[in-house]
Amino acid sequence: MGKGKLAKFDDLSQMPHVFQNFSWSDPQLINYQKEAVNYNGRWATDFFQNGQPIILELACGYGEYTMAMAEHLPNHNIIGVDIKGNRIWTGARYIQEKQLTNAAFVRTTIDLIHHFFGAAEISEIWIPFPDPHNRHSKQNKRLTSPKFLELYRKILMPDGVIHLKTDSDLLYKYTLEVVEKEGCTIIENYRDLYNSPFANPLLSVSTRYERLNISGADTIKYVQFRLGQK
């Protein structure tokens, strides 16, 4: 039987590679020593202490991509971001057990990420299997909505890229529409990823949500794009 939520939260609070925000009105990250820390613009030098490029996994859930990228991209720093501490715990424990020094987790709502990362600090953003928010009234919550693309512009390098992997036809089509309207550049676009000649082995990483196949879709979609400048 797995650990309960309270036990997982207690574990997270003691992990040096996990940082948590507990306030919407006064966003700040708290470390395992119960201290407020500010690595904005200085994650690579001050926390990771290696100067390597930083990749974010947003809505990371159990951290499957954070774990995979940390192992397969040793010359990059990987940070998983999610609000659900009991889910982050799975990835954070794995990183701890494997003693991977190029990975961390930030527990916060994604709406606040611009408070924790500096301008042009992030080289890539991965969004594997986010909630598609199927209701039209919730489209502003979709992680590829104009609202979130504007947040990403604040932290991505000028040539930084965004990866979306989804089984949702709705989110896939919506993203393509937003990308066009926002003047973004599509680099790769697969309507049926696993029947396409993709070169990036990370695209074969399967998340728990992908395996659940919540949407009932027959294919996995993937879009990689670069933000247009405003």
Q: Where in the sequence numbering do the catalytic residues fall?
A: 131
Contacting residues for 68 by C-beta, under 8 A, at least 6 apart = 202, 205
CB 116 within 8 A of CB 106: yes
Sheet containing strand 54-58, edge to edge, reads 36-37, 29-30, 18-20, 103-107, 77-82, 54-58, 122-128, 156-166, 221-226, 185-190
Which among 117, 142, 139 has a CA at the least distance from the CA of 129?
142
Contact 55, 81 (CB under 8 A): no
Nearest one of 75, 168, 65, 174 to 125, comparing CA atoms: 65
Cβ atoms of 17 and 95 within 8 Å: the answer is: yes
